[in-house]
Structure 1
Amino acid sequence: MTQLPVRDAAPAPVTLDRREGPYGEVALRRRGEHLEIIANGCFLMDTADGRSERLLVQAALDLLPSSSRPSVLIGGLGVGFSLAYAAAEPRWGAIAVAERESAVIDWHRTGPLAEFSAGALDDPRVRVLHTDLVAHLAGPGPSYDALCLDIDNGPDWTVDDANDGLYGPGGLAAAHRRLNPGGVLAVWSAQPSTAFEQALRAASFTEVHTVEIEVARGVPDAVHLARRA
């Protein structure tokens, strides 16, 4: 009888930090060589593959005039891929990042996620806003040339019901209002959503289109793009 090779089992996660906050529990885990953020027991994101998070920033920049020094709001901080990519691009004139979880900010300032944000928090162009993104967009504040939004899993599947508002008429109207004329909205999603494309058009956005990013298993990630006319 031929003996089949034994495959290594997936490594068990090791919890590095766990905290209770105003939005529930958030935890940072290590699984093998990768780090994971877990919110209220649900997987949110990890450091295994940052292609779509980087594309979120690059696709928005590509739609802006090459001669400009645009401003961008990134929401949220997550594992830092989007922020690090933005900070590595000298064209951005000002970079704000909104993150509601103080634990996530701490993990980037002095914890294990610092290597993934690659010192971006020390960039003089970067401002860290400890705030809920949905509330920040709805309230008064500056306008931006680009909004690169990556909170939860996208418009069709949210871990936190409070984030649903970002993708509905009220949230999209707030995003439209906080963009400068000609500004670009880029929204990360765990899957493409034709319904969200329709919602963007209904919210007076133009040039609505979606870029898909193939993943190892399952449906592709997506970046939804639109412009304020």
Structure 2
Amino acid sequence: MEYVEVARAESERGELVLRERREEGAPAVLELRANGVFVMDTLETSTEQALASAALALVDDPRAVVVGGLGLGFTMHEVLADRRVERCAVVEIEEVLVGWMRDGTVPHGPAMLADERATVVVADIALAMAEARPASYDLVLLDVDNGPGYLVHDVNARLYQDEFLRTVRAVLRPGGAIVVWSAAEAPDLGESLTRVFGAAEALPHEVRLQDRDEHYWLYVARVTSRA
């Protein structure tokens, strides 16, 4: 196995690195790492796609969708594959990652971002939600971390707590939902969602990765009224 660095950048949150994994007889795989920790790659995109498809199935009319976290674009891409979606706002805090997607450093990036329904906003998801108009979205997908137990940055812990979840509730329309992807059960998140939305579900979700079965969770809460 050979690793070739494609791009590297520093932000106030630390280091981002894009690198290729090369193995004889196999296509090169692009890998994203943050502060030395593996985030995602272009080989196994099942979890990102599963988050989007499962979330979209929970909402009758997901015309306007927010995706928290750009990554390598696969959650956004799956959202935009649903023709019910009229606009998809992707909120990504790392400006350089957005640049890599736009300028072709991530080869599939320009094609993904060419969809006229997609808008990428460089911002903290907490700030973006606080500034959004009330009742303006049908679905919010949180793909910033792999759940509250696997934070990319410690400050992200607030995204799974009551204050931020109340902000999300305010931007959702009646019938809308928030869906949070988690690599493990997160009962505290379920309790926070229940306090804010009145009810929540923890839906087990199995994904096949590299000939192994992985068990993930979708934490879901819906807006049934504006009360």
Shared fold (TM-score, shorter chain, > 0.5):
yes
Greater gyration radius: 1
Tell me the distance in 1 between the aligned counterparts of 2:86 and 2:16.
32
Pairing partner for 1:19 from 6, 9, 12? 9
Q: Where does the alignment leave 5 or more consecutive residues of structure 1 unmatched?
A: 1-10
The superposition leaves residues 49-70 of structure 1 with CA deviations (integer Å, 9 ceiling, x where unpaired) of 22221122222221222xx461
Amino acid at match of 1:124: E
Tell me the distance in 2 between the aligned counterparts of 1:152 and 1:114.
23
* Matched-pair identity in %: 34
Tell me the distance in 1 between the aligned counterparts of 2:207 and 2:112.
27
The match for 1:52 is 47
Q: After superposing the two structures, state which structure 1 stretch, 199-208 or 68-77, moved more.
A: 199-208
Q: Is the 8 A contact 2:202 2:217 kept in 1?
A: no
SS in structure 2 at match of 1:43: strand
Q: How does 1:1-229 map to 2 (within 5 A)?
A: 11-32=1-22, 33-65=28-60, 68=61, 70-115=63-108, 117=109, 119-141=111-133, 143-216=136-209, 220-229=215-224
The superposition leaves residues 92-138 of structure 1 with CA deviations (integer Å, 9 ceiling, x where unpaired) of 011110111112112211224242x5723111111111111122123
Tell me the distance in 2 between the aligned counterparts of 1:185 and 1:42.
27
SS in structure 2 at match of 1:177: helix
The superposition leaves residues 181-224 of structure 1 with CA deviations (integer Å, 9 ceiling, x where unpaired) of 21111111222323322221122243523232235458523222
SS in structure 2 at match of 1:86: helix
Give the 3 Å change call, closer, same or farther, for CA 213–205 of structure 1 in structure 2: farther
Give the 3 Å change call, closer, same or farther, for CA 156–145 of structure 1 in structure 2: same
Tell me the distance in 2 between the aligned counterparts of 1:73 and 1:140.
11
Give the 3 Å change call, closer, same or farther, for CA 227–114 of structure 1 in structure 2: farther
Tell me the distance in 2 between the aligned counterparts of 1:197 and 1:172.
11
Amino acid at match of 1:91: R
Give the 3 Å change call, closer, same or farther, for CA 13–123 of structure 1 in structure 2: same
TM norm structure 2: 0.86
How many Å apart are 1:27 and its aligned residue? 1.0
SS in structure 1 at match of 2:98: helix
Q: Is the 8 A contact 1:154 1:187 kept in 2?
A: yes
Tell me the distance in 2 between the aligned counterparts of 1:100 and 1:161.
14
Tell me the distance in 2 between the aligned counterparts of 1:123 and 1:24.
30
Q: Is the 8 A contact 1:192 1:210 kept in 2?
A: no
TM norm structure 1: 0.85
SS in structure 2 at match of 1:82: helix
Q: Is the 8 A contact 1:99 1:128 kept in 2?
A: yes
